[in-house]
Structure 1
Amino acid sequence: MTITQLHYVLAVAEHQNFTKAAQKVFVTQPTLSMQIQKLEDELDVLIFDRSKKPIELTATGRKIVQQARNIVNESDRIKDIVDQQKGFVGGLFRLGVIPTVMPTLLPMFLNNFIKKYPKVKLKIEELHTEAMIEKLADGHLDAAIAATPLGLPNIKEQVLFYEPFVGYIPPGHRLNSKDKLKVEDLDLDDILLLEDGHCFKDGILNLCKATRQSNDDHFQLESGSFETMIKLANEGLGMTLLPYLHTLDLKGEDQKNIKMFVEPTPAREVSLIYNKSELKMQIIEALRSTIAGVVKGAITFQNVQIISPVHKK
């Protein structure tokens, strides 16, 4: 049994196709098939049910894949230990970022990070939290930036900052005359929301449900972007809630429609999350310190109430 064979098994398990798996690991399909067959012969079990389309894992195969993933992660740790001992911060690093953080946080730290750590090849992917968790578990991401706490046993979280919820209240809205908002002021019937899949939407639902009973069927208008919701609010179709960093780019009349909450300010916790195997920790720490250095000047809120991003039914 070899580490290479286990890599091949994981590739087939992911793609459910020998040809695609071979392309992923940069070998020919006959080579990959032969190595997996050798492993199956050695173990005297079938890992894959080749009669199914797409190919499926057998019951034993599922257990083997789970253990193979652990072994491959542990083998990667050996190189990781050497890199850390040498003080080397470099190589490929796959980072996931949730959509409601990507457009505001990435421009703040990315250029600084690239200049400071030129040997790191960052591969950044915009993903919803659920997809991130799956990719972290499968080893297809090294870390991610997400709203927390998630409360997952196999995921570690390093808090980066607390980002307040901010009201966007257009002229003519019943709350526009208020200096500061209270959570009790909110009415889900006239809050414009992001579409399903965004943890920021789930945070708003949890925020409102903390003070009143609500029916999810009330929502008539959902959008994929904050920009769209601001435009809809300006058209008199309701109000919306935004993450604080997003409000820094608003200009002109739109800035006048921003309303902060009374303290403790409802906020989301934004963290670096990564697998408990703690691979590539030198790069994770480099990311954490770089981001912390740039956001501390933009976000100085301390008296906050953390709103869970986990959808509560």
Structure 2
Amino acid sequence: MELRQLHYLIAIADEGNLGRAAARLYVSQPALSYALRNLETELGIRLFDRHSGGVSATAAGLDVVAEARRTVAQAERITAAAERHRRAADGVLRVGFEASGAGELTTRARAEFARRHAGVRVEPKRFDWGQEADGLRDGRVDVAFVWLPADLTGLHAEIVHTEPRVAGLPGGHRLAGRAGISVLEVNDELLMWTERAPRAWVDWWAVNPRPDGSTPRWGPTNDNVEEMLEQVAEGAAICFAPAGLARYYARPDLVWVPLTDVEPLRVALAWPEGADNPLVHGFAAVVRELAGWRAGGPTAQNGPRSPRVTGGRGA
């Protein structure tokens, strides 16, 4: 049995159709059908029932596909571990972040680390909503600033930054001139959200449920921060975001107003558990120093300042 065959099984199970699975795998449908028949013969069991609409996994097939997923994930972790060591040997550190990351701390840490390690190339890697932890697990980055909540399974994480949340409103909105608002004051507003992130992440950002037990009015979806802000600016919905995003993505057609009664965003610096990469540990030391980190998180005096974000531009 080959790893390639396990990828085939997963694609067939996901798509429920050999034609779609073949297109996803960039192989011909006859070749995929032949590979599936050979694997079923090798295992001595039928993995999928064929029907007019496609295929459905048998009871045995469900078990085998579940094991295939675990095996493929483990193989990817092996590749990721090797890749991390290769990058360390080559003098490359890949730092992940989402949108505005940990604000100024993100840029300052990369710059200070590069200054102290002149022979190391620091490569920033931006992720879309809620994807930083997966990027660490699959080896796309070595260390990352992760917006919480997040699945930190298999990762070491330290909270290094917090910042308040704000509401992004289109220019001319009825609440645009306010110094601060309660989340309950926007209960009737359509709220931007994404299908790309885990549901727990979406609900935390949306403050779902609200303090009065109500649920948000879900508006349009988006795949990244630029799409979100474009739709807010045109008046399709409002959004919730960290205050730092208001500074880094300031637009004349948007107004940012602080939310006064929701918990702040916490940002963790994370890397794979047991990672023996001196570049990662060196970067973590720089971040701790710049954040004024103590056991349990950043010190209060070095926490982020609450920006002046009304009027469409951060301070």
Q: TM-score range by the shorter chain?
A: 0.5 to 0.7
Measure how far apart 1:41 and its partner are: 0.9
Change (3 A) 1:145 1:269: same
**Ranges in structure 2 where 5+ consecutive residues have no aligned partner:** 112-119, 196-200, 223-227, 293-297, 307-315
- Which has the higher mean CA deviation after the structures are superposed, 190-199 or 54-63? 190-199
Q: Show the counterpart of 1:248.
A: 247
Cα distance in 2 for residues equivalent to 1:85 and 1:214: 49
Q: Show the counterpart of 1:310.
A: none
Partner AA of 1:246 in structure 2:
L
Q: Show the counterpart of 1:268.
A: 265
Cα distance in 1 for residues equivalent to 2:219 and 2:42: 58
State the SS of the aligned residue for 2:45: coil
Cα distance in 2 for residues equivalent to 1:4 and 1:168: 46
Partner AA of 2:74 in structure 1:
E
Asked if 2 retains the 8 angstrom alpha-carbon contact of 1:166 and 1:244, the reply is yes
Measure how far apart 1:6 and its partner are: 1.6
Q: Show the counterpart of 2:164.
A: 164
Measure how far apart 1:267 and its partner are: 0.9
- Which has the higher mean CA deviation after the structures are superposed, 265-274 or 26-35? 265-274
State the SS of the aligned residue for 1:50: strand
User: What TM-score does the superposition give when structure 1 sets the normalisation length?
Assistant: 0.55
State the SS of the aligned residue for 1:149: coil
Measure how far apart 1:63 and its partner are: 0.8
Measure how far apart 1:27 and its partner are: 3.8
Q: Show the counterpart of 2:56.
A: 56
User: Does 2:7 match 1:10?
Assistant: no
Change (3 A) 1:84 1:227: closer
Cα distance in 2 for residues equivalent to 1:172 and 1:195: 16
Identical counterparts, % of pairs: 18
Partner AA of 1:46 in structure 2:
R
Q: Show the counterpart of 2:40.
A: 40
Change (3 A) 1:232 1:31: closer
Q: Show the counterpart of 2:117.
A: none
Measure how far apart 1:81 and its partner are: 4.2
Map 1:217-236; keep pairs closer than 5 Å.
225-226=228-229, 229=232
Cα distance in 1 for residues equivalent to 2:173 and 2:56: 58
**Ranges in structure 1 where 5+ consecutive residues have no aligned partner:** 305-313
State the SS of the aligned residue for 1:55: strand
Partner AA of 1:21 in structure 2:
A
State the SS of the aligned residue for 1:187: helix
Partner AA of 1:203 in structure 2:
W
Cα distance in 2 for residues equivalent to 1:171 and 1:6: 54
Map 1:282-301; keep pairs closer than 5 Å.
301=303
Partner AA of 1:5 in structure 2:
Q
Q: Show the counterpart of 1:195.
A: 192
State the SS of the aligned residue for 2:31: helix
Instruction: Calculate the aligned-residue CA RMSD, in Å.
Output: 5.7
Cα offsets for 1:161-182 (capped at 9, x unmatched): 433113579999789676xx5x
Asked if 1 retains the 8 angstrom alpha-carbon contact of 2:15 and 2:21, the reply is yes
Asked if 2 retains the 8 angstrom alpha-carbon contact of 1:6 and 1:72, the reply is yes
Cα distance in 1 for residues equivalent to 2:66 and 2:17: 18
Change (3 A) 1:63 1:117: farther
Asked if 2 retains the 8 angstrom alpha-carbon contact of 1:193 and 1:223, the reply is no
Asked if 1 retains the 8 angstrom alpha-carbon contact of 2:190 and 2:219, the reply is yes
Measure how far apart 1:248 and its partner are: 0.9
Asked if 2 retains the 8 angstrom alpha-carbon contact of 1:191 and 1:241, the reply is no
State the SS of the aligned residue for 1:36: helix
Cα distance in 2 for residues equivalent to 1:145 and 1:63: 36
Cα distance in 1 for residues equivalent to 2:18 and 2:275: 29
Partner AA of 1:245 in structure 2:
G
State the SS of the aligned residue for 1:195: strand
Measure how far apart 1:13 and its partner are: 1.9
Asked if 1 retains the 8 angstrom alpha-carbon contact of 2:162 and 2:264, the reply is yes
Q: Show the counterpart of 1:307.
A: none
Measure how far apart 1:42 and its partner are: 1.7
Q: Show the counterpart of 2:121.
A: 116
Partner AA of 2:266 in structure 1:
E
Cα offsets for 1:104-130 (capped at 9, x unmatched): 449977x99xx9367x9x7x7745x5x
Map 1:123-138; keep pairs closer than 5 Å.
126=128
Cα offsets for 1:218-263 (capped at 9, x unmatched): x598897456556769xxx9x97542023215367977x744759x
Cα offsets for 1:263-306 (capped at 9, x unmatched): xx8312345889x9x79997x959x86x969x969x953699xx
Aligned length: 265
Map 1:205-224; keep pairs closer than 5 Å.
205-206=207-208, 209-210=210-211, 213-216=212-215
Q: Show the counterpart of 1:30.
A: 30
Asked if 2 retains the 8 angstrom alpha-carbon contact of 1:164 and 1:244, the reply is yes
State the SS of the aligned residue for 1:248: helix
